[in-house]
Amino acid sequence: MDENIRKLKELIDGSDNIVFFGGAGVSTESGIPDFRSVDGLYHQTFKYPPETILSHTFYETHTEEFYQFYRAKMLAPDARPNAAHYKLAQWEQEGRLKAVITQNIDGLHQKAGSREVLELHGSVLRNYCTRCGKFYDLDFILHTTGVPRCECGGVVKPDVVLYEEPLDENVMAQAIRYIRQADVLLIGGTSLVVYPAAGLVQYYRGSKLAVVNKGVTGAALRAAVTVDGPIGQTLAQL
């Protein structure tokens, strides 16, 4: 076993108050590409960069193009949880992991059995009519074309936080509370570049910060343990 993974195992095994904070890298091992990954085909289909399309302004002004991108790039109905999702769910069932805080919107943590999941950026599994508030599931979005509309005529919008939109204050407050009270804070699959979510790490007061990510993150500077590698492969060894 790699020395850094052995140190991580010691940290995890010695704690019953672990909080996990994760991002896109947790889901890439389930076959969900980071939406920022732009390949040659991308430019044949879309005229704008992903960050532009996923903004509130673009949603309001180019609604049909927004949904074209959303269905093509943001939905992965066949994706299944990987070793990282299952290991986190296992730790929660054992009473050692208190919460999963995620920047992902794919619902894979819940599919793996995690219960206390704080979704900072919302979820593609929830969609609401902007006029009457009626709930619609993922299947509804997948089986509509163009702009999805409610039976009342209103636009059905995903419960996903777009650029320019604020994060849910209640979810943020819960996340801060869990991070503040954590013994071990495990950060995985995120480069911590998206604010305000990335700023949450500053609320951690402990000395057992662990970072697992392909490539280094900003948080690694104060980490007790750093593992450079895929989160699923790493957690499977613990």
The radius of gyration of the chain's CA atoms, rounded to the nearest angstrom, is: 18
**Can you name the residues that pair with 18 across neighbouring β-strands?**
97, 184
Cα 61 to Cα 52: distance, rounded to the nearest angstrom: 11
Helices (H), the chain: 3-13, 25-28, 40-45, 50-53, 56-61, 63-69, 83-93, 108-111, 138-142, 169-181, 231-235
Q: Are 111 and 81 in contact (CB under 8 A)?
A: yes
Q: Known catalytic residue: 109?
A: no
State whether residue 63 is helix, strand or coil: helix
Catalytic residue, chosen from 56, 85, 121, 143, is 121
> What is the separation of C-alpha 223 from the centre of its chain, rounded to a whole number of angstroms?
21
Structure tokens at 86: 């299952």
CB atoms within 10 A of CB 209: 22
CB atoms within 10 A of CB 163: 15
CA dihedral sign of residues 90, 95, 101, 105? positive
By annotation, the residues acting in catalysis are: 121
